[in-house]
Every structure is written in C-alpha cells, then in structure tokens.
Amino acid sequence: MERRKFFKSLFLGGLGATVSPILKAAPSLVTEDIKPETNIKDALAIPRNASSMPGKYPGKVVRVNHSSVIVDGKPSEEIVYDMLKESMLQLTGETDLNKAWLQFVDEKDIIGLKVNPVAGKLLTTSHALTQAVVKQLEEAGILRENMVIWDRREMQLHETGYTEENYPGITITGTECEDAAGSYYNNEGKLYSEERIDKDHYLYADVEMEYDAYTMPFMVNGGKYSYFTKICTQKVTKIINLPVLKNAGSSVTLCMKNLAFGSITNTARLHKDLWHETSAYACAFPPLRDKVVLNIVDGLIGCFEGGPSANPQFICNYNTLLAGSDPVAVDRIGHDIVIAKRIEEGIQTEDKAGALKFMNMAQELNLGVANKDRINLTEINLA
C-alpha cells in the first residue's frame, strides 16, 4: 500500500485556575472507572506550573477573517502576516507586536512549532502562516536556531515543504524518521525512531493492536504504552501549536488532536475506542500540558468532510485564523465553524451528540474551557 493511502485508511478508522477543579465536576467523564484502563490519574497527580494549560488567557479566543486572503489558490503571505499580527494584539491587549509575542516566549526558549502535514500538500499547515510566525518571532528577538518545526513523521514534513531550503537555520524534525536510503532501520535492525522516544513519559491504555512489518515504523512500538517524543520532553521548552481547521467525522481535529496524536507513539490502537480520551488525556501530561503556550489554527484553507485526510471536493476556504492560549476554547470555536459548514453542505442536519466529548473531558482535566457560554470570543474582519 502506498504511504499516503496507508495513512488515509489508518486515520479514517477512528475518529488553569479559572476552570472548575476536577473533583467538583459531576458527572465525571474522567475519574469514573475507565474502560479500558488508562493512567490518566498519574497525570492529575503531577503538579502544574505557571505555563500549564489553559495558559495566560483561559477561555479567550480571537478569530480574524480576511475574505481576500486566498490569492490564486494560495494564502497571501502579506495578508496572513497582518492577520496573525491582529490576532496576537487582540489576544494579548498589547499595542506592540513584539511585546505580544514575548508574553509567551523569550530569547532563552527553544520553541517548537507543531505543524500538521498529515494530509499532504493539499491540506498542510500553510507555509504562509508558518513563515509569518517565524518572522514575527524573529522580530521579537528569537533566533532561528532556537526554533524547531516538528511533527510526528519527519518524512511528511519534507514532503510538504518543511525543509532546510525553505526554513534555513531552523531545525526540522520528527519522531518517526528514516535514513538517506529510505530505511527506517539501522544496521542492527533497530528503528531509528526508538532513539527519539522518551520511555519515562507515556500514556498507558489497556488495549493493544498487532502491527505488521510495514506498519511498525509508523507506530514505533506495540503493546499498551504510547511514549512521548523527546522533542516534547527534552528538546523544546515551549510549544506553539499550528493545526489546520479540519473535520474528523462529525467532530474536529484541531488543537488537541494535533498535539495528542502527534506527540506519542503506538496510536493506531487508540483511534477506534479511545479517540476522544487520547485527544484529552495526552494533553494532560507535562510534556504538553506545561509547554503549549499558544494555539493558532490555520483556517485559511480547511475541510469539512473526509478529514483529517485531504479530499479535494471537501476542501474549502474558511479565510480565518483562530488564536488562543486555551486549546479547548479554540477547539470549541473551531468546532462550530466546521459543523456550520457541514450543515450548510447538507452532510448533517445538526451538531451530533458526543462530538464535544474530548473537549468536555479536557475541561474536566483543567486544560481549558469547553462551555461556550464561558468563552470570550473576539471576531475581527480585516476585509
């Protein structure tokens, strides 16, 4: 099976202080007896820090629209820069763009830009947005050598244009990787990727799946443990999350899904029965919970059906960016955008019950605000 078709079939198989403490939530989606069993309670026992989700602005989301941002089928770099600038100023309340960025990062940080290239060139995190982020970080005094563009699969980064040629001086890396000859294994028959995972940090779930020789390089390990990448645990000190505005069935795959399934190994086993749980639970562990300081959803070009893969007939221009430190609140607003489009296109007639499950779980885990009535949305139309 070709690599792109393999990933398509795999993904289609599944689908702070201002947040109420977990123990007060009722009924509980998390602390009840979980089937299958997970180690989420281990995450809850680890102390939080000042950077922990939902970050500096719980429940706050900025949406910036520009009806002419797509020019000849591609986002305009100049317009995207302005949209991002407005997003940062509105989110932070600053009048100086550099000061806005420095609320989240500083020159001592190693900053990971978590992009999403899984759907290929048709629907990756746009280079217009990524380049705008890089440029504004540089203007704020962050060196390119302190930036890391990353995702789970290094080969997909390269396939979608995340290369040294396009991003000179910036590290481009992934967990799953291959050598120059296209092999995933070294001379001893060991996966190169095994050196890039941290077995001290993991999501345990009492469910397994058998992987064949073709699939294993994309899973890294089998069994009941999904290990976090060393990119999160050791390499970067802060993470800026740059997902794409896409559907996943009648739900969405935005901030939390991009982080969770992009940061751990052995995920195929989690797609069917633990899709919602994994999207929330992985984000509750320190490698993500304490390092993700900003989420900027690329809604310039997205999809409303067939996601997270890219099917041309379902790709559309949303002409928007969503920004916030709170990944749950951003996902909640993004969800409404995608579902409205699905209803407009006649794919569904109403928001489906259970589509918000992972967001409600994340709220209970103190990762952000899922209750729409408690979300402060600012919407700006630049054109």
Average of pLDDT values for 271-294?
Answer: 96
Residue 17: predicted pLDDT = 33
Q: Can you spell out the DSSP letters for 135-176?
A: HHHHHTT--GGGEEEEEEEHHHHHHTT-STTTSTTSEEEEEE
What tokens appear for 86 in the block?
């407005």
Q: Virtual CA dihedral for 211, 230, 61, 147, nearest 10 degrees?
A: -130
Q: Virtual CA dihedral for 315, 318, 321, 327, nearest 10 degrees?
A: -60
**Choice among 7-11, 363-367, 379-383 with the minimum mean pLDDT:** 7-11
Residue 16: predicted pLDDT = 33
Average of pLDDT values for 339-349?
Answer: 97
For the stretch 112-133, pLDDT in tens is 999 999 999 999 999 999 999 9
Determine the number of helices (DSSP H) and then strands (DSSP E) in the chain.
14, 16
Report the alpha-carbon angle 131-136-141, nearest 5: 125
Q: Is the pLDDT of residue 9 over 50?
A: no
Peptide bond into 54 cis (omega under 30): yes
Q: Is the pLDDT of residue 12 over 50?
A: no
pLDDT band at 23 (very low <50, low <70, confident <90, very high): very low
Average of pLDDT values for 162-176?
Answer: 98
Average of pLDDT values for 20-37?
Answer: 54
Place of tokens 């990787």: 177
Residue 4: predicted pLDDT = 41
Mean of pLDDT over the chain: 92
Q: How many CB atoms lie within 10 A of CB 344?
A: 10
Helix (H, G, I), strand (E, B) or coil at 107: coil
Q: Is the pLDDT of residue 303 over 50?
A: yes
Q: Where are the alpha helices (DSSP H) in 231-355?
A: 255-263, 268-271, 275-281, 286-289, 327-344
Report the alpha-carbon angle 279-208-288, nearest 5: 30
Peptide bond into 36 cis (omega under 30): yes
Helix (H, G, I), strand (E, B) or coil at 260: helix
Q: How many CB atoms lie within 10 A of CB 214?
A: 10
Rounded distance between C-alpha atoms, residue 302 and residue 289, angstroms: 26
Average of pLDDT values for 177-181?
Answer: 93
Average of pLDDT values for 348-354?
Answer: 95
pLDDT band at 33 (very low <50, low <70, confident <90, very high): low
Residue 24: predicted pLDDT = 35
For the stretch 131-167, pLDDT in tens is 999 999 999 999 999 999 999 999 999 999 999 999 9
Contact by Cβ (8 Å): 119, 141: no
Q: Is the pLDDT of residue 40 over 80?
A: yes
Q: Can you spell out the DSSP letters for 185-249?
A: B-TTS-BGGGGGEEEEEEEEBS------TTTHHHHS--TTEEEEEHIIIII-SEEEE--B--EET
Average of pLDDT values for 9-38?
Answer: 49
Report the alpha-carbon angle 53-351-300, nearest 5: 60
Average of pLDDT values for 333-344?
Answer: 98
Would the pTM of this model clear 0.75, i.e. be above it? yes
Q: For the chain, what are the domain ranges? A: 3-381
> Rounded to a whole number, what is the distance in angstroms from the first to the last CA of the chain?
45
Rounded distance between C-alpha atoms, residue 105 and residue 238, angstroms: 7
**Choice among 7-21, 63-77, 240-254, 287-301 with the minimum mean pLDDT:** 7-21
Share of the chain above pLDDT 70, in %: 91
